Structure formats: structure tokens, C-alpha cells
Structure 1
């Protein structure tokens, strides 16, 4: 087992999974198009983000995207996790937990005091995030405007 920063080649492989990752992460709220999913996944890379991978026998079993955002409320740069994914056959082995702890270590080492992520309502991964110490700080609410109830 190895946890490390993804190579360029590994990052390209990860980006091929972008539609599947987005579909699963949004728990049915969106049916992602390949181009949009890839654009979302690569946008944090352009800003200096990167992936941390968990590999066994040189096979990627999971990854976490690591980036940085500016928090307008606290006026500080904070770590941001845009994506956490473990391959379906490798789930329930503690891989996401190990990956996240490595990300926390790296972010702390680089001077960050906080890390945030977004999670869609109904995503079962929210239980893991709570176990890792994440707390709910905001809720985005939505209402469709296509009905007659205006």
C-alpha cells in the first residue's frame, strides 16, 4: 500500500472517471455530461490542486483531490477537498479514511488551519466525513421555478 501525490499519467487516468465520480457524488441531482464533469474535475488542478492516490501493486484504488480556496468569511486561505473517490471493489477497507488523514497532514504541514468539502444531501459518505471530524456549516437550498406555484 502506498499513499502519495499522483503522477501526471495517474491524474489523466483519474480524470477519465470524472463523469462516474460526479454522478455518484451528486446522488442523482445531476446527470453529468463528460465534458462538464472533466472540466469541473480539472478546474482545481489549474489552480494548483493535485490528487493524492492510494495504490496497491501500482493499481489506483482511490484518490482525493486537494486544493485551496479563499474563505470570504474568515479572509483566509483554507484547504479544500473537491473530490474523494474509492473504486467500488475497494470500498469498506478504510482507504478513504487513510487518504483523508494524509491530506489533513499535508495541508497542516503547508500552513492551513482548516479544510472544507461539499457534500450533497443524501450522500452516504457524509457519515464518513463526520467521523473524520467535519461539521456541517452551511446548507444550500434549491427550489425549481418551472411550476405554477409562483
Structure 2
């Protein structure tokens, strides 16, 4: 398995699989349309974000979507992990950690000193993030009033 930046020709396949990635990442709460995914991803790509993909025998196993953001108060730039996804059959083999390591190395090479991400509280990936050294910085809460 190798990890590299996705080629333009591979973006269509990644984006076509992204509804499932969002569904899994939201623990089954959201299954967006392909058009919705494009409306979310294209602005990130236009601002310099990109995918690192894990590939084996020309098959995309998974990816991490990376970009930069600025702190809303200090304007300090930081790296941001917008999406991490491994196709079901490739989970549990350490590929997610390797994708994350690649993203972290990229941000370090860019001179950034902080990386942020967001995840559903019950998402199993949260444990991996914690093991990698990520800590809770803010808490987002909601109240269902239906």
C-alpha cells in the first residue's frame, strides 16, 4: 500500500465514495447526495485542500482530506483534517493511522504548529485520534427540541 496525493483523474472516484464516508463518519445520521458532497468538497479543493489516498494495485483503499483553516479569534493558521475514510474491507489494518501520519507530516512540512479535526463523539476513530495525541479543545453540544 502506498499513500500519495490524489491525481485529478482520481477525484471523481473519491467524491463518488464520499457519501458513504460521511454516512459512516456521522454514525448513520447523514447520507448526502453526490451533489451535496461536491458542494462541500469543491470549495475546500479550490482553497488548496487536497486528498492523500491509500492505493494498492490501482485500487483506492481510503483517503484523508486535508486543508488549512484559521482560528476564528486569533487568525492563526492551522491544518485541518476534513475527512478520514477507509473502505470497510480495509479497516483494522493500520491504514487510517498511516494516512493520519502522512497528513501530520505534510502539515509539519508546511510549518504549521497545530492540526484540528472534528468527529462525532461516538465515532470509533476518536480513540485513534486520542492515541495519536489529539485532545479535546472545544465541545459542540446540541439539544433536540422536536
TM class by smaller structure: over 0.9
Corresponding residue for residue 43 of structure 1: 43
Distance 2:101 2:122 in 1: 23
Per-residue Cα deviation, 1:22-81 (whole angstroms, up to 9, x for no partner): 111111333423322332233311211000011111211111001000112332110001
Aligned residues: 146
Following TM superposition, where does structure 1 have runs of at least 4 consecutive aligned residues deviating by more than 4 angstroms?
none
Q: In the alignment, what sits opposite 1:81?
A: 81
Identify unmatched segments of 5+ residues in structure 1: none
Cα distance, 1:108 vs structure 2: 0.6
Q: Which runs of 5+ in 2 are unaligned?
A: none
Query: In the aligned structure 1, how far is the partner of 2:99 from the partner of 2:136?
Result: 21
| TM-score, normalised relative to structure 1 | 0.90
Mapped to 2, the partners of 1:30 and 1:124 lie a distance apart of 17
- For 1:37 and 1:12, the matched residues in 2 are separated by 11
Q: Is the 8 A contact 1:78 1:112 kept in 2?
A: yes
Whether the aligned pair in 2 keeps the contact of 1:19 and 1:38 (CA below 8 Å) is no
Q: Who is 1:101 aligned against?
A: 101
Q: CA RMSD in A?
A: 1.4
